[in-house]
Amino acid sequence: MPHRTHREFRTIGEKANNDWRSILLGFVILALGAVTMSFYVFIKVSKGEIFTVASETNSVKTDVDEEALESVMTHFQERKIYLDTLRANPPKRIDPSL
C-alpha cells in the first residue's frame, strides 16, 4: 500500500518553519519601524521642532471688576439667608411628588 499524504493539514507554504520565519520577520520589521519612528519624534520634540506651545506673556487678568464681585457676593448672601430660613422652618410635605 503506498504512503498517502494528508492534504487537510497543509500550511500556507510548503514548510511550517518558513511560515513562522516570515511571521517573525514581519513582526521584527514592524517593531523596528515603530522604535525608529518613536525615536525620531522624541528627538524632534526635545529640539522643540514639533508640538511647541506658544508662551503667553500675561495670561492671568489682574483687574477685578468690583461691581461683578459685589453682585456675586450679594447673590450668595441671599442664598444663605434663604437656606437658613428653610432649615429653621422645614417644609411640611416631605414627598416631592405631592
Q: Each residue of 19-35: pLDDT tens digit?
A: 889 999 999 999 999 99
pLDDT given for residue 8 in this prediction: 59
First to last CA, the chain: 93
Q: Which of 32, 20, 47 is nearest to 11 (CA)?
A: 20
Contact 39, 45 (CB under 8 A): no
pLDDT given for residue 33 in this prediction: 98
pLDDT given for residue 11 in this prediction: 56
Instruction: Say whether pLDDT at 94 is over 90.
Output: no
pTM, to two decimals: 0.43
